[in-house]
C-alpha cells in the first residue's frame, strides 16, 4: 500500500479527526477509518459496501466507468483471445504469466488431481436426483475437508498450495458428477489425455454406451467461458470466502461458502435467471412489456443479466461473450436461435431507453453466457455450477492473498442499532 501524506479531516461536534488517505496504483483513493471508532466513538455506515474497500489486493482491477477488467494488469479481452483458462489460473495464483515449462508443470499437476476420493461418490447418492446441482456442490465441496485432512490447515503454506491445486482440479469433476447424478447417468471419470475444458465436456456428455469425441469448437467456447468468469475483485462470493477465511476456517469450507453465495440470482445465479427470463419473454413483440415491468418501481421484476454494482459501462466480459455466442451458434448451425434474437433485441431496446441509460444499466457477464451454454447442451441448472468451477481459482487466489496479509484480522462489522433499549423481563401472567 503506497503511503501518502494526504489526510481527510472529519469534524464531529467541533472536534476534528485526521484520517490517512492512501493512493492505489489504479482506481479511487481510500480513507483509512480503522482508528475512527477508537478516536471519535462513531462507526461508518455502508450497507452493501457501496463505498467501502474491504482489503488491498494486487490480483484484479475493474474500471467500472471505462468497462475495463484487468487480471494482474492484463486486459480480459486479450486473455480471452490469446490465453486459456489454466494459464489464467496460473496468472491469478502466482502473479505472472508462466514460461512454457512452468505452464506445462502446472497443467500436468492439475490434470493429475482431477479424480476425487472414491468414497465421495457415496455423497452424491444421498441427494435426491432432482436436487439443484449447486446444492450438491455446496455439500460435496464442504465435505472435501472430511477427506483431505492433509490440506486443511490454512496456516501451513504447503497445505494451502495442495488445497489450491485440489480445488481447481476437482471442481469440474464434482460439477460434472452433480450433473450426471441429476440426469440418472453414470459418473464419467476424468481423463488425463484431455485438456481442462475438454475433460469437463467429456465428463458431462460422455456415456459408456458409445465413444464421445469432444468438438474443438465447444471446447474452445467452454475454455473461454471459464476464462471470462475466473475472478472479479471483491464481489459478493469472493467477499464471503474472505470473511469465512478470516476466522481460520479450512479452504474447503471457505470455498463451499463462496459457492453458496454465488448461487443467488442477484449474483452467479443470474445466468440461469436470465435465460429463463428470455424464454418467458419468448418473442420480440413482448419486449416492451418486460422493459416496462423492469422500470416499474412497484414491480420487483428486474432485467436479469443487466446492471452491475461496479460497471457503469459495458461489462467487457459481456462483449466477448456476445461475440462468442454469435460464433458458437453459427458453428452449431443454430444461428437463428429465437432466444438469441430476443436477447439482441432486448439489449438494443434497453440501451435505447432513458431509464437504463440514466441508471447506467448495461448487459453484464450473465446476459449472453446462458445462451451459449444452452446451445452447448447444458440445462439451465448447470449454468451457475459452471460459473462456480471457473470462479474457484479467483476465490482461491484471493483466499491465499488474504492469508498472506500481515494486516489480516477476523472480519467483524458493527451496526446501526435501532432496536429496543434495555428493559426488564415481564412474567407471562403480566403480559
Ligand atoms: C454478477 O460483483 C460482481 O462483480 C458480480 C459479478 C462477478 O463476476 O462476480 O460480476 C457477477 O453477479 C453480475 C450481476 C448479475 N446479476 C444480475 O444480472 C441481476 C440483475 N441485476 C441487478 O439485480 C443489479 O443490477 C445488481 C445486483 C447486479 C447490482 O445492484 P446494485 O449495484 O445494488 O444496484 P441497485 O440494486 O441499487 O440498483 C440501482 C438502480 C435501482 O433503481 P433506483 O432504486 O435507484 O430507482 O438501478 C435499478 C434499481 O431498481 N436496477 C435495475 C436493474 N439493476 C438495477 N432495474 C432493472 N433491471 C435491472 N437489472
In a domain, 42, yes or no: yes
Question: In this predicted structure, what is the pLDDT of residue 419?
Answer: 97
In a domain, 429, yes or no: no
CATH number at residue 40: 2.20.28.60
Question: In this predicted structure, what is the pLDDT of residue 5?
Answer: 75
Number of folded domains that form the chain: 3
Region of 184 (left: φ > 0; alpha: ψ -120 to 50; beta: rest) is: left
Q: Are residues 12 and 156 in the same domain?
A: no
Hey, which residues are catalytic here?
308, 366
Residue 335 binned pLDDT confidence (cut-offs 50, 70, 90):
low
Q: Are residues 275 and 258 in the same domain?
A: no
Mean pLDDT over 321-343 rounds to 84
Q: What angle do CA 67, 23, 317 make, to 5 degrees?
A: 15
Q: Are residues 174 and 37 in the same domain?
A: no
Ligand 1: centre distance to CA 304 (Å): 8
In a domain, 397, yes or no: no
Question: In this predicted structure, what is the pLDDT of residue 350?
Answer: 92
Question: In this predicted structure, what is the pLDDT of residue 1?
Answer: 54
Mean pLDDT over 395-421 rounds to 95
Q: Are residues 117 and 151 in the same domain?
A: yes
Q: What is the mean pLDDT of the chain?
A: 94
Question: In this predicted structure, what is the pLDDT of residue 246?
Answer: 97
CATH number at residue 340: 1.10.230.10
* pTM for this entry: 0.94
Question: In this predicted structure, what is the pLDDT of residue 340?
Answer: 84
Tell me the backbone φ, ψ of residue 210, rounded to 5 degrees: -160, 160
Mean pLDDT over 104-128 rounds to 95
Question: In this predicted structure, what is the pLDDT of residue 262?
Answer: 97
Atom of ligand 1 nearest to the CA of 364: 13
Q: Are residues 179 and 104 in the same domain?
A: yes
In a domain, 201, yes or no: yes
Q: Are residues 226 and 311 in the same domain?
A: no
Atom of ligand 1 nearest to the CA of 231: 8
In a domain, 292, yes or no: yes
List, for residues 46-105, the tens digit of each pLDDT value.
Answer: 999 999 999 999 999 999 999 999 999 999 999 999 999 999 999 999 999 999 999 999
Residue range(s) defining the domain that contains residue 355: 269-376
Last residue of a domain, one of 346, 376, 406: 376
Ligand 1 pocket at CB < 6 A: 48, 232, 235, 266-268, 270, 294, 302-310, 359, 361, 364-366
Q: Is the pLDDT confidence value at 3 over 70?
A: no
In a domain, 84, yes or no: yes
Q: Are residues 78 and 171 in the same domain?
A: yes
The CA-atom distances, in angstroms, between 385 and each of 135, 165, 332, 430 are 10, 19, 23, 54
Q: Are residues 117 and 147 in the same domain?
A: yes
- How many CB atoms are located within 10 Å of the residue 328 CB? 23
List, for residues 181-202, the tens digit of each pLDDT value.
Answer: 999 999 999 999 999 999 999 9
Q: Is the pLDDT confidence value at 336 over 80?
A: no
- Name the residue with cell 475495463: 68
Q: Is the pLDDT confidence value at 422 over 90?
A: yes
Atom of ligand 1 nearest to the CA of 305: 18
From the list 187, 175, 74, the residue with the least C-alpha distance to 134 is 175
In a domain, 61, yes or no: no
In a domain, 276, yes or no: yes
Q: Which mutation among 307, 354, 389 tests ligand 1's pocket best, with the greatest number of atoms within 8 A of CB?
A: 307
Q: Are residues 238 and 198 in the same domain?
A: yes
Q: Are residues 21 and 92 in the same domain?
A: no
Q: Is the pLDDT confidence value at 4 over 60?
A: no
Instruction: List CB contacts of 196: < 8 A, sequence separation 6 or more.
Output: 85, 86, 107, 110, 111, 172, 223, 226
Q: Are residues 277 and 250 in the same domain?
A: no
List, for residues 273-293, the tens digit of each pLDDT value.
Answer: 999 999 999 999 999 999 999
Question: In this predicted structure, what is the pLDDT of residue 334?
Answer: 74
Q: Are residues 118 and 174 in the same domain?
A: yes
Question: In this predicted structure, what is the pLDDT of residue 326?
Answer: 84
Query: For strand 74-75 and strand 60-63, is the pairing parallel, antiparallel, or unpaired?
Result: unpaired
Amino acid at each position: 500500500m503506497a503511503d501518502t501524506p494526504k489526510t481527510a479531516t472529519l469534524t464531529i461536534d467541533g472536534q476534528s479527526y485526521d484520517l490517512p488517505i492512501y493512493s492505489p496504483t489504479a482506481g479511487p483513493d481510500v480513507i483509512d477509518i480503522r482508528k475512527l471508532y477508537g478516536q471519535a466513538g462513531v462507526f461508518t455506515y455502508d450497507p452493501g459496501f457501496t463505498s467501502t474497500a474491504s482489503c488491498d489486493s494486487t490480483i484484479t482491477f475493474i474500471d467500472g466507468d471505462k468497462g475495463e477488467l484487468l487480471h494482474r494488469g492484463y486486459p480480459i479481452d486479450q486473455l480471452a483471445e490469446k490465453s486459456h483458462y489454466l494459464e489464467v489460473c496460473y496468472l491469478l495464483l502466482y502473479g505472472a504469466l508462466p514460461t512454457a515449462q512452468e505452464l506445462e508443470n502446472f497443467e500436468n499437476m492439475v490434470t493429475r488431481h482431477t479424480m476425487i476420493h472414491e468414497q465421495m461418490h457415496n455423497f452424491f447418492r444421498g441427494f435426491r436426483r432432482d436436487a439443484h446441482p449447486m446444492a450438491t456442490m455446496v455439500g460435496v465441496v464442504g465435505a472435501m475437508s472430511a477427506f483431505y485432512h492433509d490440506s486443511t490447515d490454512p496456516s501451513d503454506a504447503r497445505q494451502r498450495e495442495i488445497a489450491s491445486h485440489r480445488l481447481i482440479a476437482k471442481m469440474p469433476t464434482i460439477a460434472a458428477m452433480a450433473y450426471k447424478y441429476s440426469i440418472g447417468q453414470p459418473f464419467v471419470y476424468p481423463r488425463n489425455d484431455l485438456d481442462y475444458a475438454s475433460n469437463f465436456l467429456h465428463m458431462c456428455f460422455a456415456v459408456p454406451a458409445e465413444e464421445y469425441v469432444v468438438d474443438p469448437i465447444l471446447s474452445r467456447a467452454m475454455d473461454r467461458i471459464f476464462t471470462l468468469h475466473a475472478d472479479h475483485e471483491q464481489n459478493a462470493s469472493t467477499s464471503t470466502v474472505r470473511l469465512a477465511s478470516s476466522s481460520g476456517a479450512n479452504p474447503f469450507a471457505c470455498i463451499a461458502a463462496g459457492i453458496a453465495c454465488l448461487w443467488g440470482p442477484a449474483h452467479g445465479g443470474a445466468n440461469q435467471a436470465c435465460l429463463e427470463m428470455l424464454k418467458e419473454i419468448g418473442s420480440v413483440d413482448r419486449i416492451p412489456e418486460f422493459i416496462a415491468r423492469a422500470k416499474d418501481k412497484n414491480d420487483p421484476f428486474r432485467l436479469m443479466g443487466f446492471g452491475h454494482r461496479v460497471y457503469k459501462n459495458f461489462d467487457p466480459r459481456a462483449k466477448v461473450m456476445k461475440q462468442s455466442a454469435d460464433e458458437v451458434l453459427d458453428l452449431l448451425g443454430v444461428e437463428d436461435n429465437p432466444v438469441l434474437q430476443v436477447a439482441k433485441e432486448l439489449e438494443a431496446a434497453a440501451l435505447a431507453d432513458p431509464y437504463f441509460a440514466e441508471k447506467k444499466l448495461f448487459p453484464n457477464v450473465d446476459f449472453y453466457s446462458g445462451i451459449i451454454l444452452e446451445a452447448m447442451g447444458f440445462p439451465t441448472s448447470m449454468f451457475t455450477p459452471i460459473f462456480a468451477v471457473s470462479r474457484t481459482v479467483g476465490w482461491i487466489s484471493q483466499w491465499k492473498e488474504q492469508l498472506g496479509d500481515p494486516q489480516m484480522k477476523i472480519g467483524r462489522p458493527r451496526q446501526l442499532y435501532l432496536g429496543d433499549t434495555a428493559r426488564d423481563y415481564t412474567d407471562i401472567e403480566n403480559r
